[in-house]
A and B are shown apart, each in its own frame.
Chain A
Amino acid sequence: MWWRFRRHKLAMVGTAVVLLFYGAVLFADFLAYADPSASEAQRSLLPPQRIHWRLDGRLQPHVYGLAGKRDPTTFKRVYTPDPSQKVPVRFFAQGFEYRLLGVIPTTRHLIGVEGARPEDTLFLLGTDEQGRDLWSRLMYGTRTSLTIGLVGVAFSLVLGVMLGGISGLYGGATDTVIQRVIEIVRSIPTIPLWMGLAAALPNDWTVMQVYFAITIIISLVGWTELARVVRGRFLALREEDFVTAAELAGSSQMRIIVHHLVPSFLSHIIAATTLAIPAMIISETSLSFLGLGLRPPAISWGVLLQQAQNIQALAISPWLLVSAVPVIIVILALNFMGDGLRDAADPYGQ
């Protein structure tokens, strides 16, 4: 299967991108250089600062300082880069303290401004309304959004494999009932329902509680596709000769399932699971975007996009839309990866 997968170029690229993103999940605090919730009213809605790599012919990355002025007609604060102010940017710079991978306490970050005056700042992607650094928030948002995808898929997988397995294994009336339930779940518009359920979460819940509640709400709908795949494989494999052979040789039902059936459709499950993650990510992003999913102080892509909800905000500070970019890239990459896995898992394809 691995060799067939290797042949699929697009899927390999997708896999690399997905791994890269999950790397960012693990090292989110290393990649971030500012505390994602540290806000400063003086620095609200700063445009992104560009890194200039060369200074006097030598490699010396720096950003220009920002000079803030009030527009005399609109009274809006406008910031312009001031080339005379050069703020050096260092790799592996000191920053806020955190635990690398949750264990090693350290203060090193991939990049940062070091030994600088307080007004020297680095905002690679600009700041939001409360003056928080968008790049650092994006890193933490990636962590939330991508793990919610994984946890949600894990829930759906349990539901899907169980119900799909029962459905395919027993057949008959059980199968009919489960199939009808799947059809019913699939024909209900999900977003209004999610909104209703998510809005009912108590306001005083902690970030963690809301996180898990949202995950469960999302996976309540996501399991149907997985159940269909599992059932389909069960039905197809049940009639295979090697299953009959195992039965005749006196294997117990449990043994047949674990030793013969599961290995032969594991690859299909992996492919279907991969293809289910994007839907989870989109669901979470949509709910949080509406303000019904995760709520601040939690940070996720949807929460970040919430600030870009109206045209006024977009017109003044288009960089708030930046969180849309990783969403699109990750979903594309996961789709490519899943497609490749599915093709590779199907021995009769090609």
Chain B
Amino acid sequence: MLTYLTRRLILAVLTVWAVSVLSFVVIQLPPGDYISSYIAQMSASGSFVSAQEAEALRQQYGLDKPMYVQYLRWMNLVVRGKFGMALEWGRPVSEVIGDRLWLTMAVSIAAIILTWVLALPIGIYSAVRQYSIGDYLATLIGFIGLAVPSFMLALVLMYLGFKLFNANVGGLFSDELAQAPWGWAKTWDLIKHLPLPAAILGLAGTAQLIRIMRANLLDELRRPYVVTARARGLSEWRVILKYPVRVALNPFASTVGYLLPYVVSGSIIVSLVLGLPTVGPLLLRALVAQDMFLAGTIVLLLGVMTVVGTFLSDLLLMWIDPRIRLESRR
């Protein structure tokens, strides 16, 4: 168990490292550096920065040093929570991002919870009543969920919401509460707004999980121990829920690792369509404005949050599935 835990932890640390390098690449890729964009911004607002001053600034920020030194300096700042300035906003990056990161995570986690809540009963039903109308219906919805990219679903739902109810289905808060400080009313408002984006984001994952659940459960239902349980006179639902479902449940926890990055990815683009106050619109704006510190930080933070989430789901998996706990004892 400890070996498993260490292995996952090492992998998580490695992933965080890879994410940090990639974010740094994103920051470094565009031509020019922080100072040249700073100078451009200064001259746009009327002030003048001389060549010497620029050179001094470069030295101060260490931009004349080799790449790996710059990376280490940046990492050093990041670890201390200093992400630099967001050029376009003239405020520190951490201030600009603010609540948005947590809202991104709230939407993603809500999507995954919804995925579970929907996929579990539907998957069980599909397997137990194989080839029934409900099973075919679930398969059909599953295929649609697989085929329709989440942002298109968001577009179509927006359109339908507008046409049928003349209501704007986007946003995470009611207008009057959007600027309000956090409190019970605002939290409740958020919870009320979460289901729609969560459903849009979760549909593809739900479809996938239903298919996995159905296939796994069908395999388990044909096992001899199920026949034994039935022969012993257990009620049908007990027969199904007590053992086969438990075994088939395994992929639920193990797919979170892949589901979470996928959902976080999707939330970026769905947020743009639905106008959610997550980091998605901010990231796009930063990229278009070539505000690379802001963009790189967002990529980094999203990556780190995803890795942490995945790690937590691994712990959950270990708790659910005794096979993993026992494996390392051998």
Contacts and interface: CB of A to CB of B under 8 A. Distances in A.
Interface of A: 180, 183-184, 186-193, 195-197, 199-200, 202, 278, 282, 285-286, 289-292, 305, 308-309, 311, 314-315, 318, 321, 324, 327-328, 331-332, 335-336
B30 A200 contact: yes
Interface stretch (B33-41, B142-150, B229-237, B240-248): B142-150
A286 B269 contact: yes
Contact of A192 (B14, B143, B268, B273): B268
Contact of B147 (A187, A188, A202, A331): A331
A151 B29 CA distance: 24
B71 interface: no
B162 A186 contact: no
A193 B29 CA distance: 12
B159 A187 contact: no
A191 B265 contact: yes
Contacts of A291: 284, 288
Contacts of A202: 31
A114 B298 CA distance: 55
Contact of A188 (B22, B151, B155, B159): B22
5 contacts: A197-B25, A199-B288, A285-B149, A314-B158, A336-B143
Contact of B303 (A183, A189, A195, A327): A189
B11 A292 contact: no
Interface in B133-167: 143-144, 146-149, 151-152, 155-156, 158-159, 162-163
B210 interface: no
> Which DSSP category, helix, strand, loop or mixed, fits chain B's interface?
helix
B306 interface: yes
Contacts of A193: 22, 26, 299, 303
B70 interface: no
A325 B10 CA distance: 44
B203 to A, nearest CB: 13
Contacts of B152: 305, 324, 327-328
Contact of B162 (A199, A308, A315, A321): A315
B94 interface: no
B268 A197 contact: no
B15 A188 contact: yes
Contact of B298 (A186, A192, A309, A324): A192
Contacts, number: 134
A188 B303 contact: yes
A322 B198 CA distance: 25
A195 B268 contact: yes
A184 B18 contact: yes
B283 A278 contact: no
A301 B229 CA distance: 54
B107 interface: no
Contact of B264 (A186, A189, A318, A327): A189
Contact of A335 (B19, B146, B149, B310): B146
Given A188-B15, A189-B261, A290 B269 contact: yes
Nearest to B161: A311
A284 to B, nearest CB: 11
Contact of B269 (A200, A278, A289): A289
Interface string B213-225: 0000000000000
B266 A191 contact: yes
B257 interface: yes
A328 B155 CA distance: 13
A110 B272 CA distance: 38
Given A180-B14, A192-B299, A292-B287, A311 B168 contact: yes
B310 A187 contact: yes
A188 B19 contact: yes
Contacts of B264: 189, 192
Contact of B261 (A190, A311, A318): A190
A341 B249 CA distance: 28
Lowest 6 CB-CB distances: which A-B pairs, in order?
A200-B29, A196-B26, A199-B287, A191-B265, A189-B264, A332-B147
B188 interface: no
B155 A200 contact: no
A243 B237 CA distance: 48
Contact of B159 (A192, A278, A292, A318): A318
